[in-house]
Amino acid sequence: MIKNIKAITLATYFTMFFLGVASSLIGAAARNIGLSPYQIGLLTSIQNVGFMISVSISGALADTHDKPKILAIGSLILASSFFGFYQLELFWINLIIMLFIGIGIGTYEGVTDALLLDIHPKRAGFHISINHFFVTFGSIIITTYLIFLQMNWRNSIQQSAAIVLVLAVFFALAWVKPSRKQTERYIRRLQILIQDKIVVVLFIATIIAVGVELGSISVLTTFLMDQHSFTQVTSKVGLVLFLTGIAFGRLIIGFLTRRDRLARNLITMFGFAVLIYTGLYFMNLGIGIYPAIFLAGFSLSALLPLILTVAGLSYPDSSGTVMGAIKVAIPIGGILLPLSMSIIAKNSSFQMSLIVYPLSLLIGFVLLFGIIRKVRIDENGITE
């Protein structure tokens, strides 16, 4: 039985690293596989269907069952799915496999934060921040790795599968003292969403922020090759630049945002993202496309952390419940926006389908500006 807290913490970080690998898999390997924009949208959407199902079930099970054992099951599902991905060329088979990849990473998202809360109660915020940084780190590594592997991209997925299988064995042997704290029921989260307009707007903003981020990760290499004549290698360099912008933003956001400016900064970042995404996808920027790609990642990096921070600090007496409810929007965003892009691409053009991203950000900006622009947050929560 493994009880070493440092080892369990490190293994937990590694699970989120492979969540990042899985999330960026389609975007990094789409052109190597030969996927169309329509197929990219379907694969990304079905992955998030699996994610949504799994994050709800695993989160509920984490309250009453051994968390490492749940992670062991999730790791086994993910490892098997990685091994099987595009071993056969039939698209519908890989669509099913992608569903199970979503189930595996949904287990990670649903359980890891709760596990870190159990084993690091005094420094939970720090460890959870590092935990989510590893998601972006995993996305950067898989994309960089594929630059060098090129058509041997499947090797990286099989290697990832082997490591995730080791994680499954590790978590099967790990033990953590269960927490006495129980979270609110899922129905209670839904009641909060229905009754509070600020939470509803933050929920919608999360759908948009996550949908634009995941959709852009999935489609960026295809966009750069189709619209800007990038090569297999330079398009992946562009994706790495985009992910670096996200990682850089997530590292500095906590140092630059004061509690009393959270809502204002969130609105500002949404407005900034509208401008950047409009320029990136619909203007001829020439060499300026490189800083635009970085700024596109940077503009998104702050959105989800700011949304979750606003939600948690605005309702200090029920922060866990509110943040849990907001997280339900993560897979919904990963489904709705890529699927919308996929449908428009099939019925119109790839270029036209990209309007989904700046238009969604504009909707988020308008909603946030209308509802929370006067919100101030102090130690007791929201004041207006």
Arithmetic mean of pLDDT, 109-120: 78
Q: Indicate the pLDDT class of residue 233, thresholds 50, 70 and 90.
A: confident
Q: Indicate the pLDDT class of residue 77, thresholds 50, 70 and 90.
A: very high
Residue 282 dihedral angles phi and psi, to the nearest 5°? -130, 10
> What pTM, to 2 d.p., does this model score?
0.70
Q: Quick one: tokens of 222?
A: 């295809």
Q: Quick one: tokens of 277?
A: 């995404």
138 CB burial (10 A radius; 0-12, 13-18, 19+)? buried
Single-letter code of the amino acid located at 313? L
pLDDT at 102: 92
Distance between CA atoms of residues 123 and 58, nearest Å: 23
Alpha carbon 14 to its chain centroid, in Å, reads: 15
Residue of higher predicted confidence among 102 and 380 = 102
Residue in 110, 108, 129, 116 with CA at minimum distance from that of residue 179: 116
Q: Indicate the pLDDT class of residue 219, thresholds 50, 70 and 90.
A: confident
Average pLDDT, the chain: 81
pLDDT at 327: 75
Arithmetic mean of pLDDT, 308-317: 70
Question: Do residues 112 and 71 touch, judged by C-beta distance below 8 A?
Answer: yes
Residue in 215, 234, 246 with CA at minimum distance from that of residue 140: 246
Residues with Cβ within 8 Å of 330's Cβ and at least 6 positions away in sequence, in order, are 51, 55, 109, 206, 210, 304
Determine if residue 167 is left, alpha or beta; phi over 0 gives left, psi from -120 to 50 gives alpha, anything else beta: alpha
pLDDT at 160: 86
> Three-state DSSP class for 174?
strand
Distance between CA atoms of residues 24 and 70, nearest Å: 23
Q: Quick one: tokens of 82?
A: 């990685």
Q: Quick one: tokens of 165?
A: 């299988």
325 CB burial (10 A radius; 0-12, 13-18, 19+)? buried
Q: Which domains does the chain have, with CATH numbers?
A: 1-183 (1.20.1250.20), 186-384 (1.20.1250.20)
Q: State the alpha helices, DSSP H only, in the chain.
A: 5-33, 37-61, 67-84, 91-119, 124-149, 153-173, 186-195, 197-228, 232-256, 262-282, 289-301, 303-314, 319-327, 329-347, 350-353, 356-372
DSSP string, 231-283: -HHHHHHHHHHHHHHHHHHHHHHHHH--GGGHHHHHHHHHHHHHHHHHHHHHS
Determine if residue 381 is left, alpha or beta; phi over 0 gives left, psi from -120 to 50 gives alpha, anything else beta: left
pLDDT at 254: 59
pLDDT at 184: 52
Distance between CA atoms of residues 101 and 78, nearest Å: 5
**What proportion of the chain, given as a percentage, has pLDDT over 90?**
25
pLDDT digits 0-9 by tens, 120-143: 766 655 676 677 778 878 877 877
35 CB burial (10 A radius; 0-12, 13-18, 19+)? buried
pLDDT digits 0-9 by tens, 15-71: 999 898 887 777 667 767 777 778 887 888 888 889 888 877 787 677 677 889 999
pLDDT at 312: 67
pLDDT at 205: 95
pLDDT digits 0-9 by tens, 144-200: 776 666 556 677 788 888 999 999 999 999 888 765 554 455 566 556 656 778 888
pLDDT at 190: 56
Angle at 297 between CA 296 and CA 302, to 5 degrees: 110
